[in-house]
Amino acid sequence: MLIIVGLGNPGEKFKDNRHNLGFMAVDFFARKNNFPDFKPSKKHGAVVTKSNKIVLVKPQMFMNNSGKTVKKIAAQNKKMEIVIIHDDIDLPLGTFKIVKNRGSAGHKGVESIIKSVGNKNIIRFRLGIQPKNGKSKNSESFVVKNFTREEQVTVDITIQKTTDALDFFIENGLEKTMNKYNK
């Protein structure tokens, strides 16, 4: 079983925020691969969709509590692989990096997941949101701002590439995917 978790904050207010890039990527992946519509799962605190042996999850507990959802899903699926897709202010906008067994680097959603389920075998797709001029002085307010029109073009391309990498990962495994996409 493969669990792909997109991180973000629930609600229309946050829909287009930088912090919701994980949600955006999972939504695009679901559409591209003809998944059924997401359905609420109260027991997981998420919206979920499933196709074959892949479950897509968007926690609905706000970013900093994402670990609660992942822990509940992990408890039900003992033989699984977890992939987390999230925004990363340490990477330039338009880039992404695939990592495994790494620390949170200060990302509160990832930190919540690591505290809840540990870090063993967690694969992360880190999607860059860093502004052109380098790191924002106030990252907490920066991540809840919407992308500009100019940035959205870059974001759309990044989401497409991320989806391609996810498809490649599903077919070819982690090592080949990292070798192809981590440049």
Q: Domains plus CATH for the chain?
A: 2-181 (3.40.50.1470)
Burial class (CB in 10 A: 0-12, 13-18, 19+), 55: buried
Q: How confident is the model at residue 143, as a pLDDT?
A: 74
Extended beta strands in the chain, E state: 2-6, 39-41, 46-51, 54-59, 81-92, 96-100, 122-130
Q: Which residues are catalytic?
A: 19
Dump pLDDT digits (tens) for 38-66.
999 988 889 999 998 999 999 998 888 89
Q: Which of 54, 69, 63 shows the shortest CA–CA distance to 4?
A: 54
Q: What is the Rg, in whole angstroms, of the alpha carbon atoms belonging to the chain?
A: 15
Cα–Cα distance for residue pair 144/132, rounded to 1 Å: 17
Q: Which of 27, 9, 28 shows the shortest CA–CA distance to 19?
A: 9
Contact of 1 with 80, CB cutoff 8 Å? yes
Q: How confident is the model at residue 86, as a pLDDT?
A: 94
| pTM exceeds cut of 0.85 | yes
Residue 136 pLDDT level (bands cut at 50, 70, 90): low
Burial class (CB in 10 A: 0-12, 13-18, 19+), 112: buried
Cα–Cα distance for residue pair 113/70, rounded to 1 Å: 7
Q: Which of 2-11, 37-46, 80-89, 131-140 has the weakest average pLDDT? A: 131-140
Contact of 89 with 143, CB cutoff 8 Å? yes
User: Helix (H) and strand (E) counts for the chain?
Assistant: 6, 7
Q: What is the mean pLDDT of the chain?
A: 89
